[in-house]
Amino acid sequence: MSTIGVLASGRGSNCEALLQATRAGRLHGRVVLVLSDRPDAPVLEKARRQGVDARHLDPGRAGARLTPEAEAAYVAALREAGAEWVALAGFMRIVGKPLLGAFPERIVNIHPSLLPAFPGLEAQRQALEYGVQVAGCTVHFVNEGVDTGPIVMQTAVPVRRGDTVESLSLRILDQEHELYVRALNLLLSGRWRLEGRRVVAIDEEDGA
Ligand code: GRF
């Protein structure tokens, strides 16, 4: 079974969804390590309760990026745990060269919008304020930009009359939990390839 390291900074509902999906036999991979840049992130306790090694790893400084030294420590911990894939789940830092170089095309992120619309922070608020009628979520490969890597899978979520940031975020979050499992199952199966920016599922192309 493929192994996944999760990087997360907060609540950890996506991480928990992955742990539950493995237990239920719906995710064909398992989380072997959870790392957080915040010592008080609830995700750490959630993972430990499921028996998963979960650690705070100092980001080196406040700000959008980890220091190169800190990032090297993240790489070392992930390698030591035997992680083949890295799943960002509410990780509030921009990943740089050390991690990208150590896990080429093996780092994915989940973002609460239909990218390329509304990258960055508060995507649900951005979508609501823009007035879109269809919001959603995206699993994408991580590259050096912010939410700019090739798209693996997306789910659309209609905006309802009277939606608030909270109500829309909750409906998107429900879909995130499903989408992350489906996207990881595709990637872990190896039945895909990258054509430029397009992630092409091999089954889909073969009509199988
Ligand atoms: C999710 O909305 C995810 O898309 C975004 O950050 C949030 C993390 O939520 N990147 P959780 O910590 O997984 O509950």
Cβ atoms within 10 Å of 44's Cβ, excluding its own? 21
Do 109-208 and 1-104 fall under one CATH topology? yes
- Model-level pTM? 0.96
Q: What is the mean pLDDT of residues 74-82?
A: 98
Q: What is the mean pLDDT of residues 158-187?
A: 98
**Active-site choice (28, 56, 111, 140):** 111
Q: How confident is the model at residue 77 (pLDDT cuts 50, 70, 90)?
A: very high
* 1-104 classified as CATH 3.40.1160.10: no
Taking every pair of Cα atoms in the chain, the longest distance, rounded to a whole number of angstroms, is: 49
Pocket residue to mutate for ligand 1, from 92, 121, 176, most atoms within 8 A of Cβ: 176
Report the pLDDT averaged over residues 44-67: 95
Q: How far apart are CA 193 and CA 84, in angstroms?
A: 17
CATH class given for the domain over 109-208: alpha beta
Q: Where are the domains of the chain?
A: 1-104, 109-208
Asked if pLDDT for residue 207 goes beyond 80, the answer is: no
Give the mutation target among 110, 126, 139, 170 for probing the ligand 1 site: most ligand atoms within 8 A of CB: 110
Residues with CB under 6 A from ligand 1: 8, 10-14, 89-90, 110-112, 173, 176
Summarize the confidence of residues 9-23 as an average pLDDT: 98
What is the reported pLDDT for 205? Answer: 54
Using CA atoms in the order 79, 82, 85, 89, what is the torsion angle rounded to 10 degrees?
-80
CA 31 to ligand 1 centroid distance, Å: 17
Q: Which helix (H) or strand (E) holds 155?
A: strand 151-158
Task: Give distance in angstroms: CA of 199 to centre of ligand 1.
Answer: 23
For the chain, what is the mean pLDDT? 96
Which tokens is 34 given? 């959870």
Tens of pLDDT, residue by residue over 90-110, are 999 999 999 999 999 999 999
Cβ pair 30, 3 in contact under 8 A: yes
